[in-house]
C-alpha cells in the first residue's frame, strides 16, 4: 500500500514541507483591485457584428521584447478565447462571471517570449446564443501586453491588433446540445494557421469598433491544467457503410430553434453531421486492444480506428494528420462503449459528439476549439485517405492540491477516491459544473457537494467564491419572477424556466460555505437576495404554512419522486424548513426560525403515515388537501437529512432504512410500493445520514456497491446509477469527502474554531492513510491495526487542536 503520510510528512521536516506547500500554492491568483486589471485595452469587435451568432475572429498582434523580460498578458473576452504565443498554445478562457462582468486572465510571458518580434494570436468565438454554458452577451476581445507598466500591445490602442474572420470554422452549424452552443465543422487548407506565427498582418482585415465597456473582475482561481494525454491503446479498427435509418432522430436543439432557443434553423445550416452520423454502420470491426502505436496509422475512405484514453477525460481533441488528396475525417467520441462500439444514437442522443474536418492535401496540426468529454475516440474517414501521425487530448481541468491523497488496503476504495478526484477536476475548471460534456452548467444543489470537495481536494474555496459571487453580483435576473434565482448560472433561460428547489439550495450552500471559513463579506452581500427569495416563496404558502403548487420545474431527484411534486410536496417543504432555519441563523432573523419550526411540525403531522413519510398531498374536488399514498425512498432521506426525523424519533423507519434499503434492495420484492432512489441526490443523502449516525461499517460496504463499478468502467463517477446519461458528474466527487470522513477518520474540520476531530470506527480495513489540505497547510493521518491496537500518526495545521475519539474495540496508540 502506498503511504501518503510517510511520503509527505513523517519523512519531511518543517522547512521542506514549507517549500513544498509554497510551490503548490504559488499559482493561486489573489483578489485584485479593478484598477490593476487593465490599463489601456478596451473591448473591441468587428464593426457592426458583435451580435452575430457563431462568429469566430482571429486577432493578430506583434510586439518587440527581449527574452526574460517581465512581460504579462491580460485578457478577457465574450464568449471564449484561445491564445497562442509564437504559434505555441498559451491558454483558454475566460473564467465565467455574471452578466455584465468579465474575469481577467493573466499570463506570465517572461520565459516564453523571444528576443525580437513576438506574435500573439488570439481566436475568439462569439456565440451570441442563450445556453447553460456561456451567456448571450455581445462579442468582444479585451487584451493587453504589459512590460513594467508600459503597454506593448492593446486592443483599441496603438499598437493594437488586426482582426479577420476565421471562415475555416463554418458559421451556420448545429448547436452541440440544447444546453451548449455550436458544434465544430472545419474546411481547411494547409496554411490555415500560418497567421499564428507570421509577423505580417493578415490579409482581409476587419474594421474593429470599440464595444460597450464591461465590468472587470479578477480571475481569483488557479489557471487550468492543459496537460497532453495520449490514448492508452488502439482499441479497434474496421470499415463502415452508409444506410439511412427508418427514422432520423432530431434533437430539440435542432428543431426547436426560436427566440427562446437561439441558433441557426435546419434550413439555414451549411452541414448536418448529426443526421449523417445516423447513417453510419460498421461493415467490419476488429477488436485490437493494442498499445497506442508509435507509427502512423493509414486510413482509406470508409475506414476507422478507435482509441481508448484509459480514463474518461475532458479537453481539446488534438491530432496530426497528413493527407495527399482531399479528405474528410470525422471524430466521434463518447464516455463509454455501447454494445462494444461508440454509439451516442443509443446512449445519449441529445449531444452532437462529432467534429468534422474537410482537408485539402497537406500536413495538419489540428485541435478543437471546444472542450469535449470522452474515454473512446473514433476517427472515421468519409472521403479521401490520410495518415494519422498523432492523437491526443489537451486536458482542460482544475489543478488539485498535489498533496491531497487517500490510500488503504482496499483497492476498490482507492479506485473510487481516484475517480472522485478525476471527476472533480474536470467539473471545476472555473465554476462548479454538473458535467463537462452535455451542459458544462453551474447548477445549484450539484454545487453544494462540489464545494465541499473543493475544500477537501484543494484546501481552499476559490471556485466556491466565484460561483457564489456570480449569484451575488446581478441586481436581478431577466426572465425570472422577482426574487427567484437561476437554477444554473451564468446562463440564459429565455423560456423562463427555473427550479424553485434549487434556489432554496443556495441558502443551504451559503451556510455550509460560511461554516468552512468562507468569505464573510460575500455571505453578507447575499442577504438581500435570500430575503427576496424567501419573500417569493411566501406567496406559495397555504393555510398550513406549507409551500403548495410551486411554479415551473419542481425537482426532488432523478427518480419517481419527480412525479409527486404537486400540490404540496413534502420533500420540498422539508427543504424549505431547513432553508428558513439556516437563513434565520445566518442573518439573525427570528421570524424565519419560528416559521421553520412550524413547518417541521406540520410535515410530521401530515406526511408521516406511521410507517413511511409520503411524498405529497393534493386538493380534492372540494378543495380539501388530501395526503396521498405516494411513497419514495428519497423522501425518507430528505426527512432524515433535514432533521425532520431522527433515529430516536422514528426508530422503526430508521431500522427499515438501514437494514432493508440501500444498493442491494430488490425493489420488486422488498417494499415495492416505495419507489427506489437514484444517485442524485438520494443515495448521496443516504451516505451522509449513515455517517451522521455512526454506521461506518455499513457505509464502507455501500460505497463499494454504489460506486466501484463506475470507477472501474470510466474512472469517473456518474449522474445516475446507470450509464444512460453523463458518466462524469461534479456532485459525485463528494464520495471523496465520505472516504476522508468515514473511512480514513477525519470526521470534522471546524475551520472557524480551528479544531480537527478524528474518529476511529470499527470498519473492515487494516490500514489507511491520507492527506487533506487545509488552506496552505494539511491534515495528515495514518493508521494501522497491529497487535490488537490501532497505531496512528497525526499532523494538524499550526494553530489547530485535535480531538481523537475511539469508537472501536481496539486500543489506540499514537506513534
Say if 677 falls within a structural domain.
Answer: yes
CA 244 to chain centre: 36
Q: In which residue are the cell numbers 472515421 written?
A: 380
**pLDDT classification of 6: cutoffs 50, 70, 90:** low
Query: Span 789-805, mean pLDDT?
Result: 97
| Domain hosting residue 120, numbered range | 34-167+191-218
Q: How far apart are CA 151 and CA 144, in angstroms?
A: 7
Residue 17 in this model has a pLDDT that exceeds 80: no
Q: What percent of the chain has pLDDT over 70?
A: 96
* 448 shares its domain with 531: yes
Say if 176 falls within a structural domain.
Answer: no
Say if 178 falls within a structural domain.
Answer: no
> Global pTM?
0.95
Q: Which residues contact 261 (CB under 8 A, 6 or more apart)?
A: 130, 178, 252, 253, 494, 495
DSSP string, 298-341: EE-TTEEEEEEEEEEEEEEEEEEEEESS-EEEEEEEESS-BTTB
Residue 782 in this model has a pLDDT that exceeds 50: yes
Say if 530 falls within a structural domain.
Answer: yes
User: According to the model, what pLDDT value does residue 32 have?
Assistant: 39
Query: Which of 687, 722, 744 delimits the end of a domain?
Result: 744
* 381 shares its domain with 309: yes
Q: How far apart are CA 771 and CA 795, in angstroms?
A: 9
* 233 shares its domain with 324: yes
User: According to the model, what pLDDT value does residue 5 have?
Assistant: 57
Q: Which residues contact 103 (CB under 8 A, 6 or more apart)?
A: 76, 93, 94, 95, 96, 97, 216, 217, 218, 219, 220, 430, 466
Q: How far apart are CA 16 and CA 704, in angstroms?
A: 37
Q: Which residues contact 394 (CB under 8 A, 6 or more apart)?
A: 89, 226, 227, 228, 229, 315, 316, 318, 367
Query: Which of 395, 415, 444 delimits the end of a domain?
Result: 395
What is the pLDDT of the chain when averaged over all its residues?
A: 94
Residue 31 in this model has a pLDDT that exceeds 90: no
pLDDT tens string 164-213 = 999 999 999 999 999 999 999 999 999 999 999 999 999 899 999 999 99
Q: How far apart are CA 555 and CA 569, in angstroms?
A: 10
* 247 shares its domain with 304: yes
Residue 415 in this model has a pLDDT that exceeds 90: yes
Q: How far apart are CA 73 and CA 81, in angstroms?
A: 13
Q: Which residues contact 34 (CB under 8 A, 6 or more apart)?
A: 215, 216, 217
Q: How far apart are CA 145 and CA 160, in angstroms?
A: 10
CA 175 to chain centre: 20
Q: How far apart are CA 80 and CA 92, in angstroms?
A: 8
Say if 315 falls within a structural domain.
Answer: yes
**pLDDT classification of 512: cutoffs 50, 70, 90:** very high
Q: What percent of the chain has pLDDT over 90?
A: 92
Say if 173 falls within a structural domain.
Answer: no
Query: Span 532-551, mean pLDDT?
Result: 98
Number of domains in the chain: 4
CATH number of the domain residue 778 falls in:
2.60.420
CATH number of the domain residue 545 falls in:
1.50.10.10
User: According to the model, what pLDDT value does residue 30 have?
Assistant: 38
- Under a CB-based contact definition with an 8 Å cutoff, are residues 114 and 79 in contact? no
Q: In which residue are the cell numbers 475511539 written?
A: 806
Residue 83 in this model has a pLDDT that exceeds 90: yes
Grouping H, G, I as helix, E, B as strand and the rest as coil, residue 388 is strand
- Under a CB-based contact definition with an 8 Å cutoff, are residues 379 and 388 in contact? yes
Rg of the chain on CA atoms, in Å: 27
Query: Which of 728, 744, 760 delimits the end of a domain?
Result: 744
Say if 181 falls within a structural domain.
Answer: no
User: According to the model, what pLDDT value does residue 1 have?
Assistant: 60
Q: How far apart are CA 803 and CA 484, in angstroms?
A: 42
Q: How far apart are CA 713 and CA 412, in angstroms?
A: 12
User: According to the model, what pLDDT value does residue 8 have?
Assistant: 55
pLDDT tens string 677-720 = 998 999 999 999 999 999 999 999 999 999 999 999 999 999 98
Amino acid at each position: 500500500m502506498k503511504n501518503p503520510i510517510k511520503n509527505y510528512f513523517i519523512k519531511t521536516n518543517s522547512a521542506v514541507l514549507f517549500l513544498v506547500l509554497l510551490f503548490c500554492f504559488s499559482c493561486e491568483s489573489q483578489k485584485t483591485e479593478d484598477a490593476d486589471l487593465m490599463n489601456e485595452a478596451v473591448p473591441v469587435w468587428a464593426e457592426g457584428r458583435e451580435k452575430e451568432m457563431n462568429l469566430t475572429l482571429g486577432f493578430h498582434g506583434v510586439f518587440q521584447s527581449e527574452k526574460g523580460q517581465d512581460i504579462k498578458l491580460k485578457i478577457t473576452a465574450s464568449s471564449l478565447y484561445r491564445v497562442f504565443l509564437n504559434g505555441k498554445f498559451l491558454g483558454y478562457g475566460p473564467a465565467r462571471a455574471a452578466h455584465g462582468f468579465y474575469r481577467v486572465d493573466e499570463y506570465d510571458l517572461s520565459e516564453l517570449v523571444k528576443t525580437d518580434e513576438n506574435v500573439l494570436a488570439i481566436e475568439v468565438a462569439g456565440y451570441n446564443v442563450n445556453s447553460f454554458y456561456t451567456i448571450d452577451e455581445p462579442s468582444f476581445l479585451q487584451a493587453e501586453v504589459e512590460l513594467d507598466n508600459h503597454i506593448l500591445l492593446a486592443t483599441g490602442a496603438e499598437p493594437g491588433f488586426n482582426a479577420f474572420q476565421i471562415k475555416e470554422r463554418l458559421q451556420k452549424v448545429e448547436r452541440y446540445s440544447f444546453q451548449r452552443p455550436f458544434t465544430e465543422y472545419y474546411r481547411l487548407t494547409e496554411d490555415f494557421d500560418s497567421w499564428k506565427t507570421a509577423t505580417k498582418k493578415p490579409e482581409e482585415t476587419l474594421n474593429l469598433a470599440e464595444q460597450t465597456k464591461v465590468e472587470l473582475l479578477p480571475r481569483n482561481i488557479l489557471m487550468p491544467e492543459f496537460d497532453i494525454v495520449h490514448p492508452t491503446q488502439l482499441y479497434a479498427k474496421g470499415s463502415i457503410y452508409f444506410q439511412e435509418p427508418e427514422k432520423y432522430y432530431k434533437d430539440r436543439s435542432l428543431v426547436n430553434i426560436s427566440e427562446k432557443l437561439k441558433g441557426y434553423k435546419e434550413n439555414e445550416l451549411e452541414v448536418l453531421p448529426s443526421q449523417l452520423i445516423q447513417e453510419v454502420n460498421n461493415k467490419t470491426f476488429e477488436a485490437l486492444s493494442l498499445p497506442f502505436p508509435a507509427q502512423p496509422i493509414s486510413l482509406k475512405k470508409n475506414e476507422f480506428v478507435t482509441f481508448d484514453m484509459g480514463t474518461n477525460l475532458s479537453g481539446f481533441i488534438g491530432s496530426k494528420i497528413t493527407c495527399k488528396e482531399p479528405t474528410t475525417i470525422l471524430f466521434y467520441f463518447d464516455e463509454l462503449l455501447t454494445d462494444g462500439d461508440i454509439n451516442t444514437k443509443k446512449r445519449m442522443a441529445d449531444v452532437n459528439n462529432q467534429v468534422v474536418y474537410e482537408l485539402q492535401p497537406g500536413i495538419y496540426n489540428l485541435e478543437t476549439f471546444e472542450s469535449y468529454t470522452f474515454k473512446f475516440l473514433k476517427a472515421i474517414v468519409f472521403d479521401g485517405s490520410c495518415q494519422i501521425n498523432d492523437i491526443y487530448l489537451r486536458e482542460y481541468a482544475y489543478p488539485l492540491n498535489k498533496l491531497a491523497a487517500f490510500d488503504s488496503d482496499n483497492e476498490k476504495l482507492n479506485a473510487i477516491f481516484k475517480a472522485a478526484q478525476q471527476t472533480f477536476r474536470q467539473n471545476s475548471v472555473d465554476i462548479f459544473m454538473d458535467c463537462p460534456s452535455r451542459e458544462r452548467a453551474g447548477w445549484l444543489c450539484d454545487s453544494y457537494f462540489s464545494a465541499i470537495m473543493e475544500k477537501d481536494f484543494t484546501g481552499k474555496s476559490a471556485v466556491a467564491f466565484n460561483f457564489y459571487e456570480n449569484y451575488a453580483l446581478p441586481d436581478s435576473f431577466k426572465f425570472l419572477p422577482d426574487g427567484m434565482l437561476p437554477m444554473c448560472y451564468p446562463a440564459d433561460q429565455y423560456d423562463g424556466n427555473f427550479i424553485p428547489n434549487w434556489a432554496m439550495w443556495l441558502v443551504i450552500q451559503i451556510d455550509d460555505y460560511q461554516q468552512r471559513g468562507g468569505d464573510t463579506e460575500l455571505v453578507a452581500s447575499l442577504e438581500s437576495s435570500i430575503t427576496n427569495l424567501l419573500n417569493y416563496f411566501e406567496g406559495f404558502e397555504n393555510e398550513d404554512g406549507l409551500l403548495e403548487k410551486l411554479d415551473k420545474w419542481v425537482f426532488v431527484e432523478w427518480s419517481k419522486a419527480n412525479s409527486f411534486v404537486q400540490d404540496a410536496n413534502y420533500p420540498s417543504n422539508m427543504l424549505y424548513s431547513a432553508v428558513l432555519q439556516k437563513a434565520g441563523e445566518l442573518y439573525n432573523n427570528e421570524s424565519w426560525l419560528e416559521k421553520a419550526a412550524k413547518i417541521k411540525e406540520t410535515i410530521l403531522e401530515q406526511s408521516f403515515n406511521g410507517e413511511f413519510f409520503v411524498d405529497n398531498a393534493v386538493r380534492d374536488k372540494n378543495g380539501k388537501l388530501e395526503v396521498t399514498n405516494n411513497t419514495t425512498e428519497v423522501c425518507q432521506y430528505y426527512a432524515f437529512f433535514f432533521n425532520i426525523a431522527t433515529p430516536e424519533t422514528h426508530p422503526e423507519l430508521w431500522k427499515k432504512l438501514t437494514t432493508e434499503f440501500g444498493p442491494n434492495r430488490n425493489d420488486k420484492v422488498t417494499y415495492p410500493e416505495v419507489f427506489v432512489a437514484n444517485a442524485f441526490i438520494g443515495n448521496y443523502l443516504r451516505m451522509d445520514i449513515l455517517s451522521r449516525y455512526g454506521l461506518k461499517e455499513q457505509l464502507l460496504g455501500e460505497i463499494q456497491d454504489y460506486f466501484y463499478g463506475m470507477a472501474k468502467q470510466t474512472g469517473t463517477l456518474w449522474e445516475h446509477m446507470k450509464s444512460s446519461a453523463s458518466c462524469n458528474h461534479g456532485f459525485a466527487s463528494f464520495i471523496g469527502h465520505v472516504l476522508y470522513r468515514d473511512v480514513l477518520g477525519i470526521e470534522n474540520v471546524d475551520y472557524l474554531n480551528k479544531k480537527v476531530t478524528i474518529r476511529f470506527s470499527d470498519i473492515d480495513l487494516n490500514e489507511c492513510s491520507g492527506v487533506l489540505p487545509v488552506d496552505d497547510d494539511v491534515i495528515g493521518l495514518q493508521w494501522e491495526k497491529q497487535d490488537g491496537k490501532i497505531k496512528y500518526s497525526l499532523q494538524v495545521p499550526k494553530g489547530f487542536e485535535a480531538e481523537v475519539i475511539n469508537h472501536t474495540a481496539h486500543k489506540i496508540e499514537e506513534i
